[in-house]
Amino acid sequence: MEPVSEDQSSDQLRRRALAGDGYAFGELIGPVLDPAFRLAMTMLKDRATAEDTVQEAAFKAWRKLDRFRPGSEVRPWFLAIVANECRSMRRSRWWVMRSNGPFSPPAKVQRDWADRIDLDAALDRLPKHHLLALTLYYHLDLPIEEVSRVLGCSPGAARVRLHRAIAALRPGLVTEVGR
Amino acid sequence: MNGEEPELRRALEGRSGSPSPEFRARLASALGAGRPVASSTPRLALAGAVILAVAVVGVLLMARQGGGRIAPLPGSASGPRIVATPTPAGCTFCPIAMPTYAQLSAPSDNVVWVLVQDEYLARSTDRGADWERRPLPTWSGQTPPLEMSFIDDHEGWLLAVGDQIGACRSQTFALAHTTDAGATWTQLDVKGIPEEHCKDGVSFADSQRGFVNVWDESHLPVIYRTTDGGRTWTASAPLPNPPGFKITDTGGPLQPGTVRAFGSILLLPALGQVSGAPMQYVFSSTDGGKTWSYLAGVPVNGALAFKASTQWFQLGGSDEAIETTDSGKTWQDYASDYQQAAGVAPSVVFADPLVGYATVRGGIARTVDGGHHWVWITTPGTGVTPVGG
C-alpha cells in the first residue's frame, strides 16, 4: 500500500468534508484545534466564550471549505477564521456582559484601574488587531509568513504591525516594570 | 522587545489555555451531527448548479415574471447579494444543534420573530407558543452574518454583512426587505452608507424610519438613518464621548447597540471601556436621529432592554434583575424568577412594558408581566422543546 503523504491525507479529508462528512472535517482541523483555542483564549480571556467561539469558527470554516485551496495549509486558514470570530465575539454585547463586574461610577473605575496596571491590563487595552498580532507571533510562535497569512497582509506589513503593537504596549510595560 | 519579550510571552500564556477533552469531544460530536446544513458546503455541492442557474439564467427569467425576487447588486460586487428567495416548501433542514445563538425581534405584544444561527427564521403571532418557519433569502456565496428587524407580522429587514477588512476598516453589506413575511425578499439599492467601517444594529421603527450603526475601534460611532424604508441613508453627527470615556487609538471602541423608538424619542445603548473596564451608556435623540446626546450611564452587569422611554430593565448573567423608571437616574432591584444554566447575560427585548423575551445560547424565555416571571419556550429549528415549554 502506498504511503499517504500529509498533503494527500489533508486533501482526502477536505474532499470528504466537502461531501458532508463532519468527522472528516473534525480530523482536518484537529491538529490545529490547540493553537486555535489558545488564540481564542488569549483574545477573549474566558474559557466558555473561547469554546463557543472556536466551535462557531469550526462551523464557519466548514461552510467556507470550498474556498480552501487544495494543498494550502490548514493552520493559517483556520486561525484567520478563529481570529475573525474572536473579533465578532468581542464586539458582541454577550462577550462584554460576561466579562463585567459590578457597576461603578467612571471616576472610581478609573482610580481602581490606575492602581491595577499590569501587563495583562496593558494587553486588555491594546487594540485587538495589535493583540492578535502579538498572540500569533509571541504566543503561538508562528513564523512571520504564517502570521501575515492569518492577518491577511504581506510579511512586511505583519512585521510593521508587530512593531506597532509592541510600541503600543510599551507604555504599559514601562509602567509595570517601574513598579 | 528584547528583555521584555519573556514577560510578554508569560503574560500571553497567562491568558491562554488548552482545549479540554470534553470540548474536543463535544466539537467532534457537533461536527459529526452535520450542523450547518442550511448553508453548508455539502448542500452547496448539491445546490451549486441550481444556484448557478438562478444567478445566470434565473435572474432574467424571474425578473420577467415581475416577482422582484432577484435584487439589484449591492454597492459592492464583492458584498453579500441575494440570488434567490426560496419558499419553505421542499426545504430539508436538520435540527440546529444547541447551544446556538438566536436573535429576537418583538414588534408587538403578540408578534415575535426569531432568527436562529442566521439560518432559520420563524414567526410567532402568539408570543412564541407556536412558530411558523418563514423563508430567508439565498445569498451569493456563503450565508453572511445577518441581523433582522421586523415592525409587524409581515414587514421586516435583514442586514447582511461581509467579512471585516482590518479592524473594521471596511465591511461590505446588503439590506433586504420583505413585506410578506419573507415569502419574497428584495435587496434594496442602498445609497448613503459607506463601505468603510463595520455595520450593525439594524432597527426600524416603522415602514419608513430605520437606523444602522457604522463604527470602528478608533472612531466615535455614526448612526445612519433612513426615512424612505431603507433606500437612502443619512449620517448622524458622531455620538459624543460619554463622561469619563474618550475614544483613542489605544482605547476600546464605543459600540452602539440597537436604536429603540418611543414616539419621537429615540434611545440607543452603547458599550465602551474606561481604562479597560467595560461601561454601558444610553444616548437619546429627539430630532429623528440627526444628533445624539448622552443620557445616562448604566450598570454593566447585564443586558439592557427598554420597556418604555423612561423605564429600562436589565437582566444579569447571574439571573439578577434591576429596573429604572427615571431614565437611569436611579436603579432598583427587580423581583424576577429568571434562571438559566449559562452564566452569561441574555439578550432581552420587550415588545411593551409587560411582554418581553430573553435569549441566551439559543434558548428563549418569555415574560408577560414585565420580567417578574419567565417561561422557557421552544426555539424553532432546533427540535428542542424545553420542559414545560
Q: Can you give the C-alpha Rg of chain B in angstroms?
A: 22
Question: Cell digits for B339?
Answer: 434562571
- Give chain B's mean pLDDT: 80
A106: preceding bond cis by omega (within 30 degrees)? no
The residue ranking higher by pLDDT, B106 or B162, is B106
Element of type H or E holding B293: strand B293-298
What span, in angstroms and rounded, lies between the C-alpha atoms of B66 and B205?
29
Range with the poorest average pLDDT among A65-74, A104-113, B218-227, B323-332: A104-113
* pLDDT one-digit tens code per residue, B30-45: 887 764 433 333 332 2
List of chain A residues whose C-beta atoms are within 8 Å of the C-beta of residue B254: none
Show me where the domains of chain B are located: 8-377
- Is the pLDDT score of B153 beyond 90? yes
Of A111, A106, A125, nearest to A45 (Cα)? A125
CA B260 to chain centre: 13
B78 vs A120, residue with greater confidence: A120
Decide if A106 and B274 are in contact by the 8 Å CB cutoff: yes
| A chain contacts of residue B16, beta-carbon cutoff 8 Å | 38, 41-42, 139
pLDDT tens by residue, A125-135 = 777 788 899 99
Q: What is the pLDDT of residues B359-387, one digit of tens each?
A: 887 889 999 999 999 999 999 998 777 75
How far is B245 from chain A, CA to nearest CA, in Å? 8
Query: In the A/B pair of chains, how many CB contacts fall below 8 A?
Result: 205
Q: Which fold has domain B8-377?
A: Neuraminidase (2.120.10)
- B36·A63 Cβ contact <8 A: yes
CA distance linking residue B182 with residue B69, whole number of Å: 11
Is A85 strand, coil or helix? helix
CA-nearest of B186, B188, B214, B190 to B200 is B214
Of B243, B250, B297, the CB nearest to A126: B250
Contact A58 B27 (CB under 8 A): yes
Amino acid A112: pLDDT: 37
pLDDT digits (tens, 9 = 90+) for A62-118: 888 887 888 888 999 999 999 988 877 755 544 433 333 333 323 333 333 333 346
**Among B156, B206, B210, B208, which Cα is nearest to B183's?**
B156
pLDDT tens figures, B229-240:
999 999 999 999
Stretch among A18-22, B55-59, B359-363 having the lowest mean pLDDT: B55-59
Q: How far apart are CA B59 and CA B70, in angstroms?
A: 6
Residue A37 in this model has a pLDDT that exceeds 90: yes
